[in-house]
């Protein structure tokens, strides 16, 4: 059976770091409120001339160098983003040009904070069907550009960043011991649009718009839906939470991650947490967390890793992979 195996992973965070205390100088908020309600200590903000494709390119380039592949062998680039450089063409094509990956097919995928899980599922199916062999799965965002910096209930929660995972086709036995993506599980419910959305766009206002969120309701859905889609992944693979080496959830709020882990009976030592360092980077948060835990040698070859996310749409999903 063809499997999509991780052969490289890297992240990129813009140089400019903004602490909670710095935000509190211009906004009616405090370091104490932000930390206690979300677990966030700071966020990285892209420079004014830095685009989503620049962040994506830097993470992709680092992953390519680390994995030792040739850019000319890449045949698919999928960028999960809700903050594209321009309305069209796709940010993925800008990344393709910057990399010089001239043999690749490149397109964007939009599922907000679930974007990376959706992109990994999409790429995995292209690889499993033998259409492509070597792919970049990128989550990249400049959410700082769609924040209403006068709305303290949202602007303190997000940051900019990018992460890339390289997936390559390998033949496995078709069982749980295979390396690679073992299963993915995706859901959407468009009736929940109003809980988390951007109030603009090309065919509505003609302007980019700002992020709007019913925080409490999103919080409730996040714990419920990320728990259920994790259980779905465990059941599909006939395993229990104890069998997982690392849980890598979307990093939106430490209290959501704690609540989900508690509900599922997962020990916090097995949960990768990066929200403190870069806030919610939407589609970039899972690859950034994978990169962090791989770099500090927590996630090792052969480990069973479960990723899960929820975002605007609403969309949610999970994926089980053996690293």
User: What is the set of active-site residues?
Assistant: 113, 250, 280
Q: Does 219 bind ligand UT7 (CB under 6 A)?
A: yes
* In the complex, minimum distance from the CB of residue 8 to ligand UT7, in angstroms, rounded to a whole number: 26
Cα 182 to Cα 320: distance, rounded to the nearest angstrom: 5
* In the complex, minimum distance from the CB of residue 29 to ligand UT7, in angstroms, rounded to a whole number: 3
Report which residue's Cβ sits closest to ligand UT7. 215
Q: Does 210 bind ligand UT7 (CB under 6 A)?
A: no
| C-alpha of 309 from chain center | 8
* In the complex, minimum distance from the CB of residue 117 to ligand UT7, in angstroms, rounded to a whole number: 12
Within residues 271-290, the interface with ligand UT7 by CB under 6 A covers 280
Q: Does 38 bind ligand UT7 (CB under 6 A)?
A: yes
* In the complex, minimum distance from the CB of residue 253 to ligand UT7, in angstroms, rounded to a whole number: 4
- Binding ligand UT7 (rule: CB under 6 A), the pick from 2, 128, 145, 152 is 152
Within residues 44-83, the interface with ligand UT7 by CB under 6 A covers none
* Residues at the interface with ligand UT7 (CB under 6 A): 29, 33-34, 37-38, 113, 152-153, 156, 196, 215-216, 218-219, 222, 252-253, 256, 280, 310-311
């Amino acid at each position: 059976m063809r499997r999509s195996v991780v052969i490289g992973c890297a992240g990129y965070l813009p140089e400019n770091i903004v602490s909670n205390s710095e935000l509190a100088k211009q906004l009616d908020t405090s370091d104490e409120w932000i930390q206690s309600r979300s677990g966030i200590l700071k966020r990285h903000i892209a420079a004014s001339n830095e685009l989503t494709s620049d962040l994506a390119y830097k993470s992709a380039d680092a992953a390519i160098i680390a994995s030792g592949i040739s850019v000319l062998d890449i045949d698919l680039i999928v960028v999960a983003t809700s903050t594209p450089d321009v309305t069209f063409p796709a940010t993925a094509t800008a990344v393709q040009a910057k990399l010089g990956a001239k043999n690749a097919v490149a397109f964007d995928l939009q599922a907000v904070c679930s974007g990376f899980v959706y992109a990994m599922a999409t790429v995995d199916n292209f690889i499993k069907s033998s259409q492509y062999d070597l792919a970049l799965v990128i989550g990249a965002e400049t959410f700082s550009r769609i924040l209403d910096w006068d709305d303290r209930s949202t602007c303190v929660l997000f940051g900019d960043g990018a992460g890339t995972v390289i997936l390559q086709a390998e033949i496995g036995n078709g069982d749980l011991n295979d390396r690679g993506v073992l299963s993915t599980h995706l859901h959407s419910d468009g009736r929940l649009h109003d809980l988390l959305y951007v109030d603009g766009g090309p065919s509505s206002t003609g302007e980019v718009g700002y992020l709007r969120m019913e925080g409490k309701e999103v919080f409730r859905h996040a714990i419920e839906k990320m728990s259920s889609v994790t259980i779905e992944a465990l059941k599909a693979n006939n395993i229990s939470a104890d069998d997982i080496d690392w849980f890598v959830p979307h990093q939106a709020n430490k209290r959501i991650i704690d609540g989900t882990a508690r509900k599922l009976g997962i020990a916090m030592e097995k949960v990768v947490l990066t929200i403190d360092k870069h806030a919610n980077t939407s589609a970039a948060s899972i690859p950034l967390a994978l990169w962090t835990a791989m770099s500090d040698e927590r996630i090792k070859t052969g480990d069973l890793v479960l990723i899960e996310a929820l975002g605007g749409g609403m969309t949610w999903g999970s994926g089980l992979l053996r690293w």
